[in-house]
């Protein structure tokens, strides 16, 4: 158990170097503001740690925008505040891109792409809702419903103030399970940003099925989605729906109705780590879940190969 706790602490203490810069078209002063650098916990949410960023930049924008909500962007991707910082990094950034260059905005909030977050209390409400949802999957919501208000407050305060011991003294109750069967179901989300327009993939999976402990590999083998948008292999199949499946833990395979195929090598990440695919999914979900108790996995593509009877094409993402 001591070894497990050290892993939990190491994940909790993960930090990302971030360089915040004000959008150039929003600078209203003769002097361009210096960037603002910060080491940001992977486990937190941006609205909990960016008040200093706001104070640094707000004096450089027009007064009419001083009360507008600040929002963040990376390479034209608005960063959703209700995603943990580490998940956002896994979705959009590669190892070579440090510090993380984030653009700060006070204008033109993208309301069609993300929710507003006018206060930290909104983040607290989101956290509690997510914890109840994950607990419903693990314990039929028995743990959260039996907790007292002070327990909920301690979970929130621990995350807000980046206090590992304070948070985990309560969170350990949410991770309790029987030694043989584990949770009822494992709360996870799999993100495949290059392909699916869905925010994430999610379905029910038990830690043990047919007396076999489920692994990360078993999870990936079950992912199959039908869709007719997004990736267009060639013009002639633009309107044709096609499917993809994660198979053999190494490739995604596509098949269309015009005998055109594609195969892509990929990596799966959580906390920007590439896990062994034979790891027991139950243990992974306990050690690597975020503060809301959800395991967030990201599928990133390394290479895509297309072929038909007459054409072979390779492209790197």
Q: Where are the domains of the chain?
A: 14-105, 120-174, 188-315
- Backbone φ and ψ for 222, nearest 5 degrees, come out as -95, -5
Q: Do 14-105 and 188-315 come out as alike in CATH topology?
A: yes
- Assigned CATH topology for domain 14-105: Ubiquitin-like (UB roll) (3.10.20)
The beta-strand segments (E) located in the chain are 15-22, 36-41, 71-74, 77-78, 100-105, 188-191, 208-209, 212-213, 224-227, 242-247, 251-255, 261-269, 295-307, 312-315
The pLDDT assigned to 286 comes to: 94
- pLDDT, tens digit, 9 for 90 and up, residues 193-247: 876 667 898 999 999 998 899 998 888 888 765 433 333 332 233 333 333 444 3
Average pLDDT over residues 262-290: 85
Crossing angle, helix 2-12 and helix 164-174, to 10 degrees?
120
Q: Considering the entire predicted model, what is its pTM?
A: 0.84
CATH architecture of the domain with range 188-315: Roll (3.10)
Fold of the CATH domain 120-174: Serum Albumin; Chain A, Domain 1 (1.10.246)
Give the integer Cα–Cα distance in Å for 317 and 312: 17
Average pLDDT of span 16-25: 98
Average pLDDT over residues 66-77: 96
Q: Which two tokens stand for residue 191?
A: 């993100």
CA 58 to chain centre: 28
**β-sheet bridge partners, residue 224:** 245
Inter-residue long-range contacts of 141-144, CB under 8 Å, 24+ positions, other chains counted: 143/173, 143/174, 143/176, 144/174
User: pLDDT-based confidence at 182, cuts 50/70/90?
Assistant: confident
Q: Which of 37-51, 245-259, 274-288 shows the lowest per-residue confidence on average (mean pLDDT)?
A: 245-259
The reported pLDDT for the residue numbered 268 is 86
Q: Is the pLDDT of residue 38 over 70?
A: yes
Question: Are the C-beta atoms of 249 and 291 separated by less than 8 Å?
Answer: no
């Amino acid at each position: 158990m001591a070894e497990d706790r050290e892993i939990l602490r190491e994940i909790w203490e993960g930090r990302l170097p971030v360089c915040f810069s004000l959008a150039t078209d929003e600078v209203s002063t003769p002097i361009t503001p210096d960037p603002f650098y910060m080491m940001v916990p992977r486990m937190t949410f941006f609205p909990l740690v960016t008040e200093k960023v706001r104070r640094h930049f707000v004096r450089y924008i027009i007064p009419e925008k001083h009360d507008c909500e600040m929002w963040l962007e990376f390479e034209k991707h608005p960063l959703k505040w209700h995603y943990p910082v580490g998940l956002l990094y896994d979705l959009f950034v590669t190892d070579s891109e440090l510090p993380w260059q984030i653009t700060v905005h006070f204008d033109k909030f993208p309301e069609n792409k993300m929710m507003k977050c006018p206060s930290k209390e909104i983040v607290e409400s989101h956290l509690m809702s997510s914890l109840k949802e994950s607990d419903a999957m693990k314990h039929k919501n028995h743990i959260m419903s039996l907790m007292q208000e002070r327990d909920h407050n301690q979970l929130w305060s621990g995350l807000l103030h980046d206090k590992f011991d304070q948070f985990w003294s309560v969170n350990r109750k949410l991770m309790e399970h029987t030694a043989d069967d584990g949770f009822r179901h494992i709360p996870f989300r799999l993100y495949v940003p290059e392909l699916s327009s869905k925010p994430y993939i999610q379905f029910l999976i038990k830690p043990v099925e047919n007396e076999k402990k489920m692994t990360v590999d078993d999870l990936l083998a079950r992912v199959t989605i039908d869709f007719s948008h997004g990736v267009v292999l060639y013009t002639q199949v633009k309107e044709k729906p096609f499917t993809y499946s994660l198979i053999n833990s190494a490739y995604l395979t596509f098949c269309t109705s015009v005998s055109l195929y594609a195969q892509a090598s990929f990596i799966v990440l959580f906390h920007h780590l590439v896990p062994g695919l034979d790891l027991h999914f139950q243990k992974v979900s306990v050690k690597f879940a975020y503060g809301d108790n959800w395991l967030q996995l990201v599928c990133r593509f390394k290479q895509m190969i297309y072929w038909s009877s007459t054409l072979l094409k390779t492209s790197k993402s």
